[in-house]
Amino acid sequence: MKTRRGISLIEMMSVITVATVMMAVATGLLATLFRVDGLARDGLHRQESVGRLAEQFRRDVHRAARCDNATDDANQICDFRPADDATDDAVVSYRRDGNQVVRTERTGGSVRRTEAFSLSAETAVAVLIDRTSNPPMVSLTLTRAPGGPKKEPLAPSPRIDAVLGKDIRPGSGTPIETEEEP
């Protein structure tokens, strides 16, 4: 009896077919994993950016003596005039530029510092100044624009509140009055 050495053509084709199917499934899974990883990184970057925006916005409001948001420019959000600056021409302005909120410090017409905070494309930015409260309260609200694409799950809209001209948060150096127990 003759012994068979090697493999037949049909056996080889079966192995190649199974290997091809496994590689196609693995490639699809890897592509999905890379896409999900990219979306997660973008989301984390935007969250970190909103956190930095909140801290900087609060600092600017606390330093400001005046806040102006009446302008003809649709991208302009608001301008703050710092109280601790001796010159009247110092201004910190916030404006929308594409998918970013851009903060610019100016003194005498020259730019001292510019910082950009990334947001998603469908985020709408609004500033509300409550001049009826004493001291005035300034709120920056980030909301999803109506009718925008819904690529991300709906999250609560961040609202950044700050008191114009003073920092009244705990740990800010301003004493908080408490009632003493008898």
Identify whether 101 is part of a domain.
yes
HSE-up of 6 (CA within 13 Å, CB side)? Answer: 5
Domain holding 141, by residue range, is: 25-163
User: What was the pLDDT predicted at 179?
Assistant: 41
In a domain, 5, yes or no: no
Q: Between 158 and 150, whose confidence is greater?
A: 158
CA separation for the pair 109, 91 (Å, rounded): 9
Percentage of the chain with pLDDT > 70? 79
CA within 13 Å, CB half, 152: 20
pLDDT in tens, 161-176: 888 887 766 555 543 3
Parallel/antiparallel/unpaired status of strands 76-82 and 100-107 = unpaired
Would 119 be classed as within a structural domain? Answer: yes
Q: What is the total count of domains within the chain?
A: 1
Tell me if 99 is assigned to some domain: yes
Q: Is the pLDDT of residue 181 over 50?
A: no
Cα angle 89, 95, 101; round to 5: 125
Q: Which residues contact 24 (CB under 8 A, 6 or more apart)?
A: none
The residue-averaged pLDDT of 127-137 equals 84
Q: What value does the mean pLDDT of the chain take?
A: 81
| Residue at 131 is within a domain | yes
- C-beta separation of 82 from 64 below 8 A: yes
How far apart are alpha carbons 145 and 125 in whole angstroms? 9
Q: Is residue 50 part of a domain?
A: yes
Domain for residue 18, yes or no?
no
User: Please, which pLDDT band fits residue 76 given cuts at 50, 70 and 90?
Assistant: confident
Under 8 Å between Cβ of 95 and 75: yes
pLDDT in tens, 109-121: 788 999 999 888 7
